[in-house]
Amino acid sequence: KIMDQYIEAGGLPGVCFVRDPKIRAKRLEEQLHTILDRDVRSVYPIKIPFRQILEFLGELALAEGEPINHTRLKARTGISPITQKKLLYALEAVFIVRIHPVQSEVGKWTYLFEDQAEWRWLAQQRATNESELEEKQWAGVIYRNVRLQFEYRFGEQARFFSYQTRSGVHVPLAIQTPQGVLGIVSLSTDEVSHRALMAAQSFFKRYAKSALLFISRTGNKTRLIGDRIGLIPASMALFE
């Protein structure tokens, strides 16, 4: 119940405690309109219409966690890659998204939205059906909250990035601290596939002093899967 509430309402003060979904959605719409049409333009004086900026952000929401694809974004929104890069800088400056590098073979950039409710509202504007959002919104909840624990609670410098290779290995969130590198992968169930374990081995080869944590949507027990791999249910990772 708490998870469902967070997915819908996020954590922004003034919005997350609004109980009526329609009123909350209206507040989010007004808030985003102000940020995109006023604050973003103060950081980067872009001349494209507000609606086009909103479409761009909606496309980003649908592809959250993936490497930024400027060609695809131009085809979907009509915004040139040069303007996209400036927009991304401005969106990070006003705390809408947080940009991370993609390490290994790809050499690109990815991002996470700062707030769950903003992500959901934006993604819903562009998604064709609810099932298109379900898996991605679950992963976003995990990565957003894990990042915040390192960034604001531990009191130490942490560098965030994504690990991805052309062969399909993908660790969406990795955190590097003086103690080493921790990879985070969200799972729909508490069953760890062979493919996921192979991805872990690729990650370990790249980062010698590293470990990987799977966070599952289901299950109620933690367990070790080898010396450097752990599994923990989201109910424990996020609420205990």
Q: What is the DSSP string of 150-163?
A: IIIIS-S--EEEEE
Q: Confidence band (pLDDT; 50, 70, 90) for 219? A: confident
Cross-strand pairs, 159 = 176
Quick check: 89 and 64 in contact, CB under 8 A? no
* pLDDT tens digit sequence for 74-97: 999 999 999 999 999 999 999 999
The rounded distance, in Å, linking the Cα atoms of 39 and 37 is 6
Token readout for 65 is: 């966690």
46 vs 5 pLDDT, higher one: 46
Encoded amino acid at 168, one letter? G
Encoded amino acid at 200, one letter? A
CA nearest neighbour of 62 among 77, 40, 78? 77
pTM of the predicted model as reported, rounded to 2 decimal places: 0.86
* pLDDT tens digit sequence for 16-69: 778 888 888 898 889 899 999 999 999 988 889 999 999 999 999 999 988 999
CA nearest neighbour of 91 among 62, 123, 60? 60
Q: What is the Cα 237 distance to its own chain's centre? A: 17
The rounded distance, in Å, linking the Cα atoms of 28 and 18 is 11
Q: What average pLDDT score do residues 118-124 get? A: 89
